[in-house]
A and B are shown apart, each in its own frame.
Chain A
């Protein structure tokens, strides 16, 4: 199931005045389009397009800054409906998920296609959000099918018609074949699936390495990856692109804090703590610089993440300006009992962590803005 222009649909649902206008979700003049509604798409706006370009194509577009919490909420509601169909749901993102419906026919007394039609109907009736369905015998084909006649699409690729369906399709259909991979495939004379079929496995592997083997199987419509409802989270990160490149340490410090707090909030929600803190900076020329530090004990405390990231930032010799900053934690661990150890050299660390836990409780009860650090306002 893949929602249609998800963020834009949520915005249009919540603000009916946007209904017939081209709506683009994304941050600021410097940001990129994260979602464009179908009206904007007719004008050529695509997701991941720089905002200035989108506005050139579609000057009357209404640009909406994303309301992530609203999308998360709707996503959760959709998830609840999907959970009624099958316990095996693997979310790909907020608006997209694989479901394994194997063996559910006897449970629901209806075949998967009927249940999926019911799913999108319920989404429209109860949530006012439309989605497209791709039904097939593996993940690769289901994903391809879901994109076939969006929006409000419903496509089935059966086992019998798989070979015919794929034959003349371009290989860029394969998720993960980006511009770079396409160039190397092009060089090998591979444009369509039928081109791929002419290669034997050994040659593909010799030429493309690990991807070669995958290509061999996908060319035959084979994909053995399982739908897994428990994909472990490996890292939690957040980043922000500035409206204007900056090297102002005060502004950057404010961002480091806000990002650290966001990462900490999400880690706390997932009950995770990270052992490695990563700082990412993108220079004005788009080159990326990352620095990381291992901690002796895993953390989910914003104050600890912030201080570590800030030290990493202070140790970067590049003065900027930067166009993007990001903070992340990885090497995740369960959070319980972690962090209970104090710091001999920083006796106040424990006090600050306690203060943070206390303000978390206040924010939980009175809203995210109920209490905040002064540096969040920088």
Chain B
């Protein structure tokens, strides 16, 4: 195998691939990236056995072939090469070494045979559809903060992507929860997605997927089966197993009868929460919201470190209410609001609270109060 490639294109492809590779590995081949050169394309493939990513980059291939080298080391080398360099990769297939040459730098990397590299089996997908990158970005960006990290609740360690009904029409919906907060984000159902089975997309996949979604113009080809999900742009294909479990019935968690309505400027609110939370040494401490006619007083009382209070002018027409929340959770949901005011709907100080942006119900958040 021999090819030449521009450093910037190589770096982008290798960076993407190496991030999938697990840092601590007991199987040596999984630390490697599979490089395949053919035609005028080179592909870089990496896997942790649950996720597989394939990046393609244009290159001048003088001899087709394939080999594998340490993904992290290869990435480090390419990263440190000068911008604009032309990189020549050569593997004679017999020496067990792959050479990397650029200008006056030259490296020789140990290889492992390509036959040992586990390529994810291809499978049949029940639904194939295209979604604009900004739509997927919104669905996952706004829900991923609520993904649980509790290993025992493995079925919550991802975003539940499925087709659901909203007011008579079908929507593409992403839901994540860790039992303390929940995010439910809807988008218009793309054509061809109706037959899609509901899948739990693992946290790591959500993180890797994000890197495919930066380009506003890109159309992402999405394929979904009961066991796998695939996202593809013209250059990158990300395939992932989905979490084998049942996502709990989240609909009964979303309160529908909350009537006490608070409307507040989201960024003012977030800043105030952040300020008063400073006095609590632990981020897990409670912020108390005391609501009275058009007045909100935020306070934190941490016995061993201090106390803080801040008043905000808000729209709140209902009877007085005192309710406490984990400051971190409040900040996280408040920071999801980007266009309109944040609207909170309360029931009592012990019941889940609902938050949405203005009257837009395509993104709703639920947060469990704390006792204060």
Contacts and interface: CB of A to CB of B under 8 A. Distances in A.
B204 interface: no
Contacts of A311: 152-153
A308 B370 contact: no
Given A341-B368, A343-B180, A344-B366, A294 B151 contact: yes
A76 to B, nearest CB: 26
| Residue with the greatest number of chain A CB neighbours at <10 A, chosen from B150, B181, B324 | B150
Contacts of B182: 344
B248 A345 contact: yes
Interface stretch (B11-19, B193-201, B231-239, B279-287): B279-287
Given A294-B149, A315-B152, A345-B179, A337 B370 contact: yes
Nearest to A275: B284
A198 to B, nearest CB: 40
Chain A interface size, as a band, is 20 to 34
Contacts of B253: 344-345
A336 B371 CA distance: 11
A334 B280 CA distance: 13
A265 interface: no
Contacts of A342: 350, 368-369
Given A336-B303, A342-B369, A297 B284 contact: yes
B219 to A, nearest CB: 35
A90 interface: no
Contacts of A344: 177, 179-182, 253, 352, 366, 368
B97 to A, nearest CB: 33
Q: Quick one: which of B285, B352, B368 has the most chain A CB within 10 A?
A: B368
Contact of A341 (B149, B150, B370): B370
A204 interface: no
Contact of B180 (A296, A333, A334, A337): A296
Contacts of B286: 337, 340
Interface string B182-203: 1000000000000000000000
Contacts of B111: none
B352 A294 contact: no
Contacts of B181: 344
Nearest to B325: A341
B266 to A, nearest CB: 22
B152 A293 contact: yes
B60 to A, nearest CB: 49
A298 B326 CA distance: 13
B103 to A, nearest CB: 40
Interface in A321-352: 333-334, 336-338, 340-346
Contact of A340 (B148, B149, B151, B372): B372
B101 interface: no
Contacts of B352: 344
A346 B370 CA distance: 15
A123 B14 CA distance: 70
B147 to A, nearest CB: 11
Nearest to A294: B149
Contacts of A296: 148-150, 178-180
Nearest to B154: A315
Nearest to A309: B152
Nearest to A349: B179
A343 B148 CA distance: 12
A292 B150 CA distance: 10
B155 to A, nearest CB: 10
Contacts of B370: 337, 340-341
Contacts of A338: 284
A336 B280 CA distance: 12
Interface string B246-268: 00100001000000000000000
Given A336-B303, A337-B285, A294 B150 contact: yes
Interface in A266-308: 292-298, 308
A343 B150 contact: no
A346 B179 contact: yes
B303 to A, nearest CB: 7
A280 B370 CA distance: 32
A312 interface: yes
Contact of A345 (B177, B303, B372): B177
A341 B368 CA distance: 7
Interface string A9-45: 0000000000000000000000000000000000000
Contacts of A293: 150-152
Interface in B325-352: 326, 350, 352
A333 B148 contact: no
A314 to B, nearest CB: 9
Contacts of B248: 345
Contacts of A341: 180, 326, 368-370
Contacts of B324: 340
A109 B149 CA distance: 59
Given A294-B151, A295-B150, A315-B152, A343 B285 contact: no
Contacts of B366: 344
Nearest to B286: A337
A297 B149 contact: no
Contacts of B151: 292-294
A336 B372 CA distance: 11
Interface string B49-60: 000000000000
Most chain A CB inside 10 Å of its own CB: which residue of B177, B178, B284, B285: B284
27 contacts: A293-B150, A294-B149, A294-B150, A294-B151, A295-B150, A296-B149, A296-B178, A296-B180, A297-B180, A333-B282, A333-B284, A337-B285, A337-B370, A338-B284, A340-B324, A340-B372, A341-B370, A342-B368, A342-B369, A343-B179, A344-B177, A344-B179, A344-B182, A344-B253, A344-B352, A345-B179, A345-B253
Given A344-B352, A344-B368, 7 more contacts: A296-B148, A338-B284, A341-B180, A341-B370, A343-B368, A344-B181, A345-B248
Top 5 nearest A-B pairs (CB, nearest first) are: A311-B152, A340-B371, A340-B370, A343-B179, A293-B151
